[in-house]
Chains A and B, each alone.
Chain A
Amino acid sequence: MPDPILEVRDLSVTFETARGPVRAVRNVNWHLARGEVLAILGESGSGKSVSASAVMDLIDIPPGRIDSGEILFEGRDLLKMSPKERRKINGPRIAMIFQDPLSHLNPVWTVGWQIEEAMVIHGTGRAEARSKMIELLGKVGLPNPAEAAAKYPHQFSGGQRQRVMIAMALALKPDVLIADEPTTALDVTVQAQILALLEDLQRETGMGLLIITHDLGVVAEIADRCIVMNKGEIVETGTPAQIHNDPQHPYTKKLIAAAPGKGQMSDGGDGRSLLLQMRGATKAYGDVAVLHGIDLDIHAGECVAVVGESGSGKSTVAKLITRLEPASGGTAMWKGEDLFTMPPRRLLEVRREVQMVFQDPTQSLNPRMSVQDIISEAWVIHPDILPRHRWRDRVAELLEQVGLEPDHAHRYPHQFSGGQRQRVAIARALALEPRLIICDEAVSALDVQVQAQVIRLLARLGRELNIAYLFIAHDLPVVRDFADSVVVMKLGRVVEQGPVRQIFDTPRQDYTRNLMAASLDPDPDVQAARRRQRQEMMA
């Protein structure tokens, strides 16, 4: 094996918080060679980003503190260097890209200027920087590089912005590129493109690539080696195939087992009564039409998944059904009445039966209300459901139903973990005894294991209480495990719909096939097969 260019030895970092010191990473060791792709895999709070932050000198000291260890770059300890020396390395030699390119690009300068600036700071002439910048924008696959250079960050899509960030990182030909969740905010198809771009560039320049991710699929797609982290410690190291096929540590085993996309696909239940029948639903904001006639059926107790890239109008469908936005046309028949034209009084009754669980439970629960208040609010609004003296018992009952403790009722949302908060949100939705729950990306903000638990919970509740779900998601493996039927949307139109088995096993449309091929599988072998398929499709 070639000599490592970047090596972290025995690194321990502690953060001082209001509740005492937290040891974010403990005695972490890893190394990265030229031309290698190393992935650090971990759930939120596992400390997977901390060592990379230490490399880039991004840890605030205080509250952070490096207790021990060294970070060797070409054999020299970064931690012993002066800030000036480190600035010569950060950027030109070690570059970094982030999850959210929008917040890391300055909105008031053109992207071309920003890339040039990165070069000018490190001593390149303006004119030379300009020609190099345009070359770079071409290299990262932006059409019309000269034109793109004159645009501002907001004029690009998420994937394009990430390409701009990559161009900026590559401007100084770094030896190491650190990518912190580079594709988490992107659609599956765009994610596949960005990963392919990173891989190509890495092969071309021979740099070392460090990818920090929570996604087994990303590891399977791109990594040569993988480090699994849990609670600040490295639990396992190996090739993606070793980690996936033969995990040694109990944590890794649990993590691999929780990965979605392996369970039985549903065969769907026939002969269930029709709950919601949407026909020709359209929505336009001013002159911009976002939905062009959507047809959708939801049966009682059925889980209908809506998949598609961002901008396909998935969430707009949910907003129309809940009447958060008025529809521009079409009908949605709910028990013989049109939801879209229903008078407010009647709507209040329907709102009991149609509930919603949002993507981010941190934002969908009022931070100033206790769980008791949050759940019983439903009964304040609909006083005929439950008399006031029964509220306390019923809240306890609901909390147990979603797998929480009855005495959690006194707590406030911030006192729960992300998965627990989503359970509270589900309990709130259940309080009204709904017939249909709309889950708008309800599990995509959760860690894999928690996600699996929440999905199991939703499935159980659906069976026991005969609740139908409209499950909006971009994560296909989850949909495969959970949905009965699938609706594929693209640019405000339904491209394909049918039972989950049909969509996943024998997709008819190219768009669906593309989507399937772009989605990442945790199994490196499956992933290698998919990659071949994708390349064939492109050829």
Chain B
Amino acid sequence: MTNQSTPNTAATRNVSASAEDAPMLLRYGRMLVADKTALVAAIFLMVMVLCAILGPMLLGDLATRQNLRGRNAPPFDISRGWAFVLGGDQLGRPLLARIIVASRNTLMVAAGAVAASLVIGTGLGLIAGYSRGRMSQIIPRLADVIMSFPSLLLAVIVLFMLEPAVGNIILVLAITRIPVYLRTARAEVLEIRERMFVQAALVMGASSRRIVLRHILPVVLPTLLTIATLDFAFVMLAESSLSFLGIGIQPPEITWGLMVSQGRPYLTNAWWLSFWPGLAIILTALSLNLLSNWLRVALDPQQNWRLEARRSNDA
């Protein structure tokens, strides 16, 4: 039996000879190159992040300069300059520049809210799922309370009391999304904690912290990351509905969601006002989704040979 190697082990041995010794980062880099869609998604997201960092600095003036003669200027016409390639908005400001500038607030709010709810929700979920004590009773009830309270109402109350700044919007959005991660994490932990390898670690004398972080979290994380990427788009739209109610980001600050809702009255005669920022939201969400799909495979030792094998086939 010792020498009975399945085709799987033989294949992996070939790959592992070249790949296993390479530094971690390089290995993941190679796996990313192997998956073309994920590579495109990663490049798109990197461009977006660059826009968010540099955009407001370079294009801040251009994006806020009003030009009433260019009101609702149609797209694909560069007679007014390259910035108008996607058209102009209701005050004649170039849409392309505005989308680039708006990426900072949008990504900051969405990333902040998703990251905060992911971290807090997962943490609470792990505790609720693993502890047998009172915490396992209290924490799920907490999630129930948040879930049963209309999130928009919560946002209105909080943002009415606090000023509608970026930080507070992140806070509100994060709170409303916590239960998603909390419940998923708890449900998964309840199942995984009964698995044999957890028992094996217990027999070895592993502490609860070690079991949760080393044995349970890595199994739960891919599911949660997938939810997080889906949530990213949801949060971007939730933020725009807050802005629409006038309690979100306040003009002249801009976000993609706000741009969509500002363009809404003009949908019949100037579709591009809402379309381009909407497209930006969709593409960002889609890219994240594709990338998380790749990440799920790349992080799973049982699956990542698919990526490595594809690379060596290409070579």
Contacts and interface: CB of A to CB of B under 8 A. Distances in A.
Interface in B1-46: 1-2, 4-9, 11-12, 16, 20
Contact of A355 (B203, B207, B210, B300): B203
Nearest to B299: A368
Contacts of A382: 205
Given A19-B7, A20-B7, A414 B195 contact: no
Contacts of B197: 363-367
Contacts of B301: 367-368, 370, 412, 414
B264 interface: no
A417 B199 CA distance: 22
A185 interface: no
A360 B196 contact: yes
B205 A18 contact: no
Nearest to B20: A410
Contacts of B207: 381
Contact of B199 (A364, A380, A381, A420): A364
B13 to A, nearest CB: 8
Contact of B205 (A347, A363, A367): A347
A410 B16 contact: yes
A322 B6 contact: no
Contacts of B206: 377, 381
The size bracket of the interface on B is 20 to 34
Contacts of B199: 324, 356, 358, 364
B135 interface: no
A204 to B, nearest CB: 42
Given A18-B306, A356-B200, A412-B301, A368 B205 contact: no
Contacts of A378: 204
Contacts of A415: 8-9, 12
Contacts of A453: 1
A465 interface: no
A450 B3 CA distance: 12
Nearest to A348: B205
Interface string B288-315: 0000000000001110001000000000
Interface of A: 18-20, 22, 322, 324, 347-348, 351-352, 354-356, 358-360, 363-368, 370, 377-378, 380-382, 403-404, 410-412, 414-417, 419-420, 425, 428, 432, 449-450, 453
Contacts, number: 92
Interface of B: 1-2, 4-9, 11-12, 16, 20, 195-197, 199-207, 210, 214-215, 218-219, 300-302, 306
Given A18-B306, A364-B196, A370-B301, A417 B6 contact: yes
A179 to B, nearest CB: 27
Given A368-B219, A403-B2, A324 B203 contact: yes
A404 B206 CA distance: 26
Contact of B2 (A19, A355, A360, A404): A404
B203 A351 contact: yes
A377 B204 contact: yes
Contacts of A365: 197, 200
Contacts of B196: 358-360, 363-364
A322 B219 CA distance: 25
Across the A-B interface, give the 5 residue pairs with the lowest CB-CB distance, nearest first. Answer: A351-B205, A364-B196, A363-B196, A412-B301, A419-B1
B200 A358 contact: yes
Nearest to B198: A366
Contacts of B210: 380-381
A364 B200 contact: yes
B270 to A, nearest CB: 50
A450 B2 CA distance: 9
21 contacts: A19-B7, A322-B203, A324-B202, A347-B205, A351-B205, A356-B200, A358-B199, A364-B200, A365-B197, A366-B197, A367-B219, A368-B219, A377-B201, A377-B206, A377-B214, A410-B20, A414-B8, A414-B301, A415-B9, A425-B200, A453-B1
Contact of B203 (A20, A22, A356, A380): A356
B243 to A, nearest CB: 41
A348 B208 CA distance: 13
A449 B1 contact: yes
Nearest to A356: B203
A19 B8 contact: yes
A356 B218 CA distance: 23
Contacts of B201: 366, 377
Contacts of B218: 368
A134 B197 CA distance: 44
Contacts of B215: 366
A381 B195 contact: no
Contacts of A450: 1
Nearest to A380: B210
A382 B204 CA distance: 9
A490 to B, nearest CB: 25
A352 B7 contact: no
Contacts of B302: 367, 412, 414
B81 to A, nearest CB: 53
A432 B204 contact: yes
Contacts of B214: 377
A370 B302 CA distance: 11
B7 A381 contact: no
